[in-house]
Amino acid sequence: MALYLGLDSSTQGLKAVLIDPARGEFVCGSAVHFGRDLPSYHCPGGVLENPDPLVKHSDPMLWLAALDLVLQRLQDAGAPLAQVAAIGGAGQQHGSVYLNARFPAIVASLSPGLDLATQVAPALSRRTSPIWMDSSTGTECAELTCAVGDRLQVSTGSPAIERFTGPQIRKFAKNEPKAYGDTQRIHLVSSFLCSVLIGGDAPIDTGDGAGMNLLNLGTLQWDGEIAEATAPGLLAKLPRIDARPSVTGGLSPYFAKYGLSAGTPVATWTGDNPASLVGSGASRDDVAVVSLGTSDTFFAAIHPYRVDPDRFGHVFGLPSGGFMCLTCFKNGSLARDRVRAEAGVDWDFFDTTAFEKTAPGNDRRWALPWFEPEITPLVTKPGLRANFDFGAAAPEVRIRAVVEAQAMTLRTHSLWIGNFKTLRVTGGASQSAGILQTLADVFHATVETISTADSAALGAAMIAANAAGGIPYEKVAASFCPPTRTIFPRADAARVYSECLPAFRHWEASSQL
Binding site for ligand XUL (CB under 6 A): 10-11, 92-94, 132, 163, 211, 271-273, 293-295, 297, 326, 328
Cβ atoms of 75 and 170 within 8 Å: the answer is no
Question: Least distance (Å) from ligand XUL to the CB of residue 332?
Answer: 9
Question: Least distance (Å) from ligand XUL to the CB of residue 91?
Answer: 8
Question: Least distance (Å) from ligand XUL to the CB of residue 283?
Answer: 18
* CA nearest to 92, candidates 225, 191, 239: 191
Which residues, in sequence order, are bridge partners of residue 26?
19
Q: Which residue, judged by CB position, is nearest to ligand XUL in the bound state? A: 93
Question: Least distance (Å) from ligand XUL to the CB of residue 460?
Answer: 13
Closer to ligand XUL by CB, 156 or 297: give it: 297
239 Cβ contact list (under 8 Å, min separation 6): 185, 187, 191, 201, 202, 203, 204
Question: Least distance (Å) from ligand XUL to the CB of residue 294?
Answer: 6
Closer to ligand XUL by CB, 28 or 54: give it: 54
Burial 177-208 (b: 16+ CB within 10 A, else e): eebbeebbbbbbbbbbbbbbbbbbbbbbbbbb
Give the whole-angstrom CA distance, residue 163 versus residue 52: 15
Closer to ligand XUL by CB, 272 or 396: give it: 272
In sequence order, which ranges of 33-115 are alpha helices (DSSP H)? 34-37, 60-76, 103-108
Question: Least distance (Å) from ligand XUL to the CB of residue 72?
Answer: 25
Closer to ligand XUL by CB, 163 or 398: give it: 163
State the distance between the two ends of the chain, measured CA to CA, in whole angstroms. Answer: 57
Task: Name the E strands within 24-153.
Answer: 25-33, 57-58, 84-91, 96-99, 129-130
Cβ atoms of 491 and 497 within 8 Å: the answer is no
* CA nearest to 7, candidates 95, 74, 90, 78: 90
Task: Name the E strands within 332-472.
Answer: 367-370, 383-386, 422-426, 446-449
Give the whole-angstrom CA distance, residue 271 versus residue 274: 6
CA distances in angstroms from 329 to 60, 74, 228, 337, listed in the order given: 23, 32, 30, 15
Question: Least distance (Å) from ligand XUL to the CB of residue 459?
Answer: 13
Question: Least distance (Å) from ligand XUL to the CB of residue 211?
Answer: 6
Closer to ligand XUL by CB, 130 or 293: give it: 293
Is residue 110 left, alpha or beta, with left meaning phi > 0 and alpha meaning psi from -120 to 50? beta
Closer to ligand XUL by CB, 169 or 247: give it: 169
Share of the chain residues as helix, strand and coil, in percent rounded to the nearest 5: 45, 20, 35
Give the whole-angstrom CA distance, residue 380 versus residue 306: 27
Give the whole-angstrom CA distance, residue 339 versus residue 390: 10
Closer to ligand XUL by CB, 163 or 411: give it: 163
Closer to ligand XUL by CB, 328 or 386: give it: 328
Question: Least distance (Å) from ligand XUL to the CB of residue 396?
Answer: 29
* CA nearest to 494, candidates 429, 418, 411, 413: 411
Q: What 3-state DSSP class applies to 512?
A: coil
Closer to ligand XUL by CB, 194 or 251: give it: 194
Question: Least distance (Å) from ligand XUL to the CB of residue 406?
Answer: 15
Question: Least distance (Å) from ligand XUL to the CB of residue 128?
Answer: 17
Closer to ligand XUL by CB, 158 or 437: give it: 158
Question: Least distance (Å) from ligand XUL to the CB of residue 276?
Answer: 9
Give the whole-angstrom CA distance, residue 473 versus residue 471: 6
AA identity, residue 465? A
Closer to ligand XUL by CB, 160 or 326: give it: 326
Closer to ligand XUL by CB, 45 or 293: give it: 293
